Chains A and B, each alone.
Chain A
Amino acid sequence: MDIRVAGIVKDYDGTAALRGVSLDIRTGELVALLGPSGSGKTTLLRVIAGLEIPSEGHVLFGGEDATGLSVQQRRVGFVFQHYALFRHMSVFDNVAYGLNVRRRAERPARDAIRRRVLDLLDLVQLSGLENRYPAQLSGGQRQRVALARALAVEPRVLLLDEPFGALDAKVRRELRRWLRDIHDRTGHTTVFVTHDQDEALELADRVAILNDGRLEQIGTADEVYDHPASPFVMSFVGDTARLPVEVREGRVLLGGTALDIEVAAADAGGGALYLRPTDVVLTNGDCSGLAGRVTSLRRTANGRRAEVRLDAGGNVLEVEVPTQRPLQVGDRIGLHILKARLFPA
């Protein structure tokens, strides 16, 4: 089922959480809502679920206006960050809950419910644990029970609020892959909220980046990574250095020195150059262009990160350095910029 969000505004006693967000999510798509805390991503998810009533705007499911529908009528599967499992019910009863509360006419027969619950527990790889209580499960297992519970009611869309936020890094990575797998198998239209850009870029078909109640950009991982629509998106999806520059006659000047880069459609005037640590390489000793002094060195998973204080302007730039290259704090090095984005200041 496709979801359309049109012009959603949400005010909390005068403070705006969402300032007009519009978004189209296609059937069967896995979309991440990404943003820093306070960006409104969770509020947007809750508006889609019907847990928050928007001040303005509409939510459409499959072209049908769902704005006036109650939570119960929307038939969404919602997974909470802290699982929200019913502690006094066994795993089985938790998963069966949504079916058991249906009106008698719509409720499946007892053994049909039983079959469905056991199938779902099989899907989330928790077979044999149906008689346990939530307190007897690990965090990752609880979150999988919560997902099975949400899937039990055959939801039209699946919504997950920071589903892996409370789990440790290793379990997170496992569950990520596994969620992708479940999504591909069940084909639910899925929206999940996260503040972890790696999680969003790795898992989702498209990523919607929110900031301060507005949608900054929605696109595939490639699109938001390679063609960020705004400085915010650029700096949010990865490490970014910002260099204040001047543009004159099609050339980019940093502290008076011309940089050896081409910038498409550069307007004259002030601007800021955004670049990633991997977009800069060290020259072979040539310090005639952009140059600076190494102020600190750090080991990372793939290499080393050098902080370089540039001669021009005195800005500090982070550079990814291969481990083979001998380098020490205090060395003077030349830099070559491979790629950068210019945004007007």
Chain B
Amino acid sequence: MTAAAPPLRRLRRPSAIPGFGIAFGYTLAYLGLIVLLPLAALVLKASSIGLSGLWAAAMEPRVLAALRTSFGLSLAAGIVDAVFGLIVAWVLVRYRFPGRKLIDAAVDLPFALPTAVAGIALAALYAPNGWIGRLVEPLGLRIAFTPLGIFIALVFVGLPFAVRTVEPLIAEIDRELEEASATLGATRGQTLRRVLLPPLLPAVLTGFALAFARAVGEYGSVIFVAGNMPYVSEIAPLLIVIKLEEFNYAGATAIATIMLGMSFAALLAINLIQAWSRRRFGHV
């Protein structure tokens, strides 16, 4: 190697673990072909109607309502999944009880189940004549075919993300930390709040981000249980399909582009919060 290395060489430092070049090249090619290319095509297609056209499509009341439904309920579902997922993961890691392996396997079912099946099952359960729907009907509560039904479906599909991201961290918690906290006089609650939970926060946020992202894009399970009433229980992905069926490709790509932008902004924000919380709590 000559002393006056060309600028590109600076990326290549001698290393005990070689393979940076090929790994980085593969990463870029993969990301470009599989992720960025289709998204670029989407943005390109949407740009055919121009910025003003995009704005007009977004400001359509029905689109606004659908976006609000999608992002609002996804946010709520993500939060519930983060909290519930933490508890489920805690129980699975910390306690030994009969049937633990079964519950452990059941957590992943939303991953594997075709989402349409999940939607139909949920609709059957929560419909006014379903097992659960029949119980809450006298209370004046309707779940299926309302936004509440969508919310439940979104919680269902997002849960495994929240559980699986925090599980390894809970498993790594050193027992001695709890003992140290106890010898210093802390109650169980204080130990949980001050010692155990803060280091878990970055992982909880990751789980939340994944569950939220999954919920925003969810289609199959929602449409069966949502009732799909425009302005009330219609999600943005469904509206895209509707536009497509009307051969309104520009309209469909417009909504898709807006969703893409909002999702990207939301995930970026969560990533920044995570980076901050890692700095704050993650001194490993």
Chain A residues with a Cβ under 8 A of chain B: 49-51, 70-72, 74-78, 80, 82, 84-88, 97-98, 101-102, 133-136, 146, 149-150, 152-153
Residue of B nearest to A97 (CB): B184
Contacts of A133 in B (CB 8 A): 283
Does B199 reach chain A (CB closer than 8 Å)? yes
A88 in contact with B179 given A97-B186, A102-B185 (CB within 8 Å)? no
Distance A74 CA – B195 CA, assembled complex (angstroms)? 20
Q: Mark B171-190, 1 if CB is under 8 A from A, else 0.
A: 00010110111111111001
Q: Mark B270-284, 1 if CB is under 8 A from A, else 0.
A: 000000000011111
Distance A133 CA – B284 CA, assembled complex (angstroms)? 9
Q: What is the number of contacts between chain A and chain B, taking CB atoms within 8 Å?
A: 74
Q: Are A149 and B184 in contact (CB under 8 A)?
A: yes
Contacts of A70 in B (CB 8 A): 182
Distance A334 CA – B40 CA, assembled complex (angstroms)? 93
Contacts of B174 in A (CB 8 A): 82, 84
Question: What are 11 A-B residue pairs whose CB atoms fall within 8 Å in the complex?
Answer: A74-B183, A78-B179, A82-B176, A84-B174, A84-B176, A84-B177, A84-B179, A88-B280, A88-B283, A146-B180, A153-B185
Contacts of A152 in B (CB 8 A): 184
With A72-B183, A78-B179, A78-B180 given, name 5 new contacts (CB 8 A).
A84-B174, A86-B195, A88-B281, A97-B181, A101-B186
Q: Are A51 and B183 in contact (CB under 8 A)?
A: yes
Contacts of A86 in B (CB 8 A): 177, 180-181, 194-195
Residue of B nearest to A46 (CB): B179
Contacts of B183 in A (CB 8 A): 49-51, 71-72, 74, 76-78, 150
Residue of A nearest to B277 (CB): A88
Contacts of B187 in A (CB 8 A): 72, 101
Q: Are B280 and A72 in contact (CB under 8 A)?
A: no
CB distance from B84 to the nearest CB of A (A): 24
Q: Are B190 and A88 in contact (CB under 8 A)?
A: no
Does B198 reach chain A (CB closer than 8 Å)? yes
Contacts of A97 in B (CB 8 A): 181, 184, 186, 194
CB distance from A255 to the nearest CB of B (A): 53
Interface of B is mostly: helix
CB distance from A13 to the nearest CB of B (A): 14
Q: A-B pairs with the 10 shortest C-beta distances?
A: A98-B184, A84-B176, A133-B283, A84-B180, A88-B281, A78-B183, A101-B186, A71-B182, A135-B283, A88-B198
Which interface residue of A98, A101, A135 has the most chain B CB atoms within 10 A? Answer: A101
Residue of A nearest to B174 (CB): A84
Residue of A nearest to B191 (CB): A101
Q: Are A101 and B177 in contact (CB under 8 A)?
A: no
Contacts of B190 in A (CB 8 A): 101
CB distance from A230 to the nearest CB of B (A): 33
CB distance from B198 to the nearest CB of A (A): 5
Q: Are B283 and A134 in contact (CB under 8 A)?
A: yes
Distance A136 CA – B282 CA, assembled complex (angstroms)? 12
Contacts of B280 in A (CB 8 A): 88
Distance A55 CA – B74 CA, assembled complex (angstroms)? 52
**Contact pick for B284, options A74, A80, A101, A135, CB 8 Å:** A135
Distance A98 CA – B176 CA, assembled complex (angstroms)? 15
CB distance from B53 to the nearest CB of A (A): 49
Residue of B nearest to A74 (CB): B183
Enumerate B250-284 residues with CB–CB distance to A below 8 Å: 280-284
Contacts of A72 in B (CB 8 A): 182-183, 185-187
Which interface residue of B184, B185, B186, B199 has the most chain A CB atoms within 10 A? Answer: B184
Distance A86 CA – B281 CA, assembled complex (angstroms)? 10
Contacts of A101 in B (CB 8 A): 181, 184-187, 190, 194
Residue of A nearest to B180 (CB): A84
CB distance from A146 to the nearest CB of B (A): 8
Enumerate B82-131 residues with CB–CB distance to A below 8 Å: none
**Contact pick for B199, options A84, A88, A98, CB 8 Å:** A88
Residue of B nearest to A85 (CB): B180
Distance A71 CA – B174 CA, assembled complex (angstroms)? 18
Residue of A nearest to B188 (CB): A72
Which interface residue of B180, B183, B194, B198 has the most chain A CB atoms within 10 A? Answer: B183
Distance A134 CA – B185 CA, assembled complex (angstroms)? 21
Distance A134 CA – B282 CA, assembled complex (angstroms)? 11
Residue of B nearest to A106 (CB): B185
Q: Are A87 and B185 in contact (CB under 8 A)?
A: no
A80 in contact with B176 given A87-B199, A153-B185 (CB within 8 Å)? yes
Q: Are A75 and B185 in contact (CB under 8 A)?
A: yes
Contacts of B182 in A (CB 8 A): 51, 70-72
Contacts of B184 in A (CB 8 A): 97-98, 101, 149-150, 152-153
